[in-house]
Chain A
Amino acid sequence: DAKTTQPPSMDCAEGRAANLPCNHSTISGNEYVYWYRQIHSQGPQYIIHGLKNNETNEMASLIITEDRKSSTLILPHATLRDTAVYYCIVRAGDDYKLSFGAGTTVTVRA
């Protein structure tokens, strides 16, 4: 059973912020939200993860709602190289498994 729900696709303009939503209404207290992406013909790439606080790194920001039932990945200034499939994954902190769903295909357009 799917733990996360993501839109199948979205477009965004180069240079603009891309906001990728993810619903995880059944998330447990010990589960983290992870984001990976997969650029065409490459292996998945770790982006960011969080438990309940908002997180930011050099690639993106992760905003998690207070009830933790949804989150948003923000790419602050999308470039053409950000075109990829983005996966939102919920995983317990001590669980080694990453269960990849269908993800969101993000296309950045010039």
Chain B
Amino acid sequence: DAGVIQSPRHEVTEMGQEVTLRCKPISGHNSLFWYRQTMMRGLELLIYFNNNVPIDDSGMPEDRFSAKMPNASFSTLKIQPSEPRDSAVYFCASSLRDGLENEQYFGPGTRLTVT
């Protein structure tokens, strides 16, 4: 299996632009997670999907952030408009089961720089 796939790996954009990050979870996994990592705040959970449905979006920082999962093999995280403080590494993770002992497998991340 190829593991969790994220694209792009690096994104540099100007303040005010729209940014879309993409994730393909491991085939057969029914849970998907978006995390953000910064030096100041560490790794934070942004949103959790189960069976393509958003279950917990309490970590989404504000309305500029949105996430979708149109099918079991694809998810997007969109920032519109982007701001310099959004600069971070964004990770997508997936897991096989919802609930008991479900270890999460992380993608390589997207390093976002907003100038």
Contacts and interface: CB of A to CB of B under 8 A. Distances in A.
Nearest to A44: B106
B45 A43 contact: no
Interface residues of A, number: 16
Interface stretch (A3-11, A61-69, A90-98): A90-98
B109 interface: yes
A57 to B, nearest CB: 11
Given A96-B31, A96-B48, A96-B98, A34 B103 contact: yes
A98 B45 contact: yes
Given A96-B31, A98-B104, A43 B91 contact: yes
Contacts, number: 46
Question: By CB atoms of chain B within 10 A, which of A42, A44, A93 has the most?
Answer: A44
Interface residues of B, number: 25
A56 B17 CA distance: 48
Contact of A43 (B31, B55, B95, B106): B106
B29 to A, nearest CB: 12
A97 B102 CA distance: 10
Interface string B21-64: 00000000001010000000011010010100001100000000
A40 to B, nearest CB: 11
Interface of B: 4, 31, 33, 42-43, 45, 48, 50, 55-56, 91, 93, 95, 98-109
19 contacts: A43-B4, A43-B109, A44-B91, A44-B93, A44-B104, A46-B103, A49-B103, A93-B99, A94-B99, A94-B100, A96-B31, A96-B48, A96-B50, A96-B55, A96-B56, A97-B48, A97-B56, A98-B104, A101-B42
Interface of A: 32, 34, 42-46, 49, 93-94, 96-98, 100-102
Give the 7 A-B residue pairs with the shortest CB-CB distance, closest first.
A43-B106, A100-B43, A46-B103, A94-B99, A93-B100, A44-B106, A43-B91
